Amino acid sequence: MNDLPRPCRYVVSACLAGQPCRYDGRSNLRPAIAALVQEGQALPVCPEVLGGLPVPRTPCEQQGGRVVSADGQDRTAEFMTGAEAALYIAEEYGCSAAILKARSPSCGCGRIYDGTFSRTLTDGDGLFAALLRKKGFPLFTEETFSPETPAEQP
């Protein structure tokens, strides 16, 4: 990470850059986002791994302001620790926008899973996305971002 230029335009969900850090040990590779990382325009982070959660791990969703795993464990502390660490890294590298994994309890923007583990969506942001939004970062998901999108656009 230290060889990336500062400022770096985007902070991105590491799984979208091809890192196998999803809950199931896989990635969500999006070649255009991986290319941004390779070009030094994007910084990959995984808030869940930064928060100390293993790969693979039990799936988690937000429930009433908490983040809970499918087996009932409260993982809010790990998710918040990771979100704060990822925000710190993004700010240290001068990132000005974010490209995040849709629907994630960390990175989801605008719509996340509702906590029933039934793939039902509800309005809301993941913990990392919420911190970035409070700091004024324009937020994109892999579904709303295109390489032509200027970082300044919400």
Residue 57 has pLDDT above 90, yes or no: yes
Q: What is the pLDDT of residues 66-121, one digit of tens each?
A: 999 999 999 999 999 999 999 999 999 999 999 999 999 999 999 999 999 999 99
- Both tokens assigned to 97: 């926008």
Answer yes or no: is 1 within a domain.
no
Residue 154 has pLDDT above 50, yes or no: no
Q: What is the pLDDT of residues 85-98, one digit of tens each?
A: 999 999 999 999 99
Structural domain that includes position 53:
10-141
Answer yes or no: is 146 within a domain.
no
Answer yes or no: is 149 within a domain.
no
Answer yes or no: is 153 within a domain.
no
Q: What's the mean per-residue pLDDT of the chain?
A: 93
Answer yes or no: is 103 within a domain.
yes
Answer yes or no: is 70 within a domain.
yes
Answer yes or no: is 50 within a domain.
yes
Q: What's the whole-model pTM score?
A: 0.92
- E strands, the chain, in order: 10-13, 42-45, 60-63, 66-69, 97-100, 111-113, 121-123, 139-141
Answer yes or no: is 116 within a domain.
yes
DSSP-derived 3-state class of residue 69: strand
Residue 150 has pLDDT above 70, yes or no: no
Q: Which residues contact 134 (CB under 8 A, 6 or more apart)?
A: none
Number of domains in the chain: 1
Average pLDDT of span 39-62: 97
